Chains A and B, each alone.
Chain A
Amino acid sequence: MASDSPEPVFDEVIHAPVRLRICGLLDTYGTVRFDVLRDTLGVSDATCSKHLKTLADHDYVRLDKKACDGGKAYKVTWVRLTREGKAAFQSHVAALRQIVAGQAA
């Protein structure tokens, strides 16, 4: 966790629903396998890849391709939040909470 009370900063890159959910899962669970991420979000391979690429382009996530266990030919992609991504996500969530808490008062 970057900080207990991050400064609320709205991030347009993270705010897209799928990207926000990706960041939320990675923030909680650390490094997650691509297929688990895709299945949890209930999106297609292509959609998940596209959003991960957008996040990776902004240095918010890091994708690591590792050889599959058992010497199989394909590689497994593991995804994790970078330090910048974690900070940006927590600031964005703080901004969302501020909006919601303010409106609900």
Chain B
Amino acid sequence: MCRTPAMNPAKEAIVTDMRVTQPGTGEEAHGSYRLDVDALRKQGVSDAQDRFGMADTADALDALDALTALDSDRSKLAGSYDRMRATTVIWVAVVYGLLTLTYWMIPQAYLGRFHLPWNSAWIIFALLAASMLLMCAAMTLTAHAQGIAVQWLPPAPVAANRRYRTILAVRFVLNFIPPVLALVVGYVTDAWWSALAVTAIGTAINGLAEYWELDATVRALRQRTVPAGHEEVRHGIG
């Protein structure tokens, strides 16, 4: 077996391991070969050998290469999330800003402060409709640019990532702040600057949360899953 300089650490570990434990070498007399066979058997290699008939070193290296290629491809496509990050954050911030403004409008319409010739509730419906349309447009355009169909759930490795789930939980809690604030402020005052202020707060909070979420998404997609001692990262792949 030839070793290449570009060999990754896990692969190198396997090769080293197999070299040290070759039968018929002097080390056999020291009992290391017997010990290693026992260890391998414990790890289920013999099972794999029985089942697949391909548990020799070359096949293990092939398998490792295959798994490394999967990690590499996943990481490459994660770049599309990274490239779209700024655009996505702006879209999301605008949509949530509009939604926050809608919440500010609710007390105004309820208290009839606008003195409009038509029912003020129509403004709220119009804002809601505009927010939804913007959200749909954002999702469609982002998916089109990425070449990945619109998904309601994040990719499996991302959903399984602890950092991502933590950010999602924090975002869930943060999401309540702008609407509650907008409702309270809208009830207290109808000044134009208060509408601007709550909209800005809604935009900032959700824009920042979306940025963190995308950051966690890209990180999760770039994590490697190839077994390498204790550094192995377990998530949805396989």
Within 8 Å by CB of A93, from B52, B55, B70, B144, lies B70
In the complex, which residues 156-184 of chain B have their Cβ closer than 8 Å to any Cβ of chain A? 156-157
Is the C-beta of A17 less than 8 angstroms from some C-beta in chain B?
yes
DSSP class of B's interface residues: helix, strand, loop or mixed? helix
Given the known interface contacts A24-B73, A27-B237, the answer about A102 and B48 at a Cβ–Cβ threshold of 8 Å is yes
Is the C-beta of B40 less than 8 angstroms from some C-beta in chain A?
yes
Given the known interface contacts A41-B73, A96-B66, A97-B67, the answer about A105 and B43 at a Cβ–Cβ threshold of 8 Å is yes
Is the C-beta of B149 less than 8 angstroms from some C-beta in chain A?
yes
| Least CB distance, A74 to chain B, in whole angstroms | 15
Is the C-beta of B236 less than 8 angstroms from some C-beta in chain A?
yes
Is the C-beta of B204 less than 8 angstroms from some C-beta in chain A?
no
Tell me whether B149 and A102 are in contact (CB under 8 A). Answer: no
Distance A99 CA – B40 CA, assembled complex (angstroms): 10
CB-CB under 8 A from A24, the residues of chain B are 69-70, 73-74, 237
Is the C-beta of B7 less than 8 angstroms from some C-beta in chain A?
no
Flag B59-85 by CB within 8 Å of A: 1 or 0 each: 110011011011001101100100000
Tell me whether B52 and A99 are in contact (CB under 8 A). Answer: yes
Tell me whether A29 and B40 are in contact (CB under 8 A). Answer: no
Tell me whether A103 and B14 are in contact (CB under 8 A). Answer: yes
Distance A4 CA – B147 CA, assembled complex (angstroms): 27
Nearest B-chain residue to A86, judged by Cβ: B156
Is the C-beta of B26 less than 8 angstroms from some C-beta in chain A?
no
Within 8 Å by CB of A30, from B55, B64, B148, lies B148
The range of chain A's interface size is 35 or more
| Least CB distance, A20 to chain B, in whole angstroms | 5
CB-CB under 8 A from A97, the residues of chain B are 63, 67, 227, 238
Is the C-beta of A47 less than 8 angstroms from some C-beta in chain B?
no
CB-CB under 8 A from A28, the residues of chain B are 74, 77, 155-157, 221, 236-237
Distance A17 CA – B156 CA, assembled complex (angstroms): 22
In the complex, which residues 184-222 of chain B have their Cβ closer than 8 Å to any Cβ of chain A? 221
Tell me whether B149 and A95 are in contact (CB under 8 A). Answer: no
Enumerate chain A interface residues (CB-CB to B < 8 A).
Answer: 1, 6, 8, 10, 15, 17, 20-21, 24-25, 27-33, 35-36, 40-41, 69, 78, 80, 90, 93-105
Contacts A24-B237, A100-B60, A102-B55 known; 18 new A-B pairs at CB < 8 A: A28-B74, A28-B221, A29-B77, A29-B151, A31-B149, A32-B147, A33-B149, A78-B149, A93-B237, A96-B66, A97-B63, A98-B47, A100-B63, A100-B226, A102-B45, A102-B48, A103-B45, A104-B228
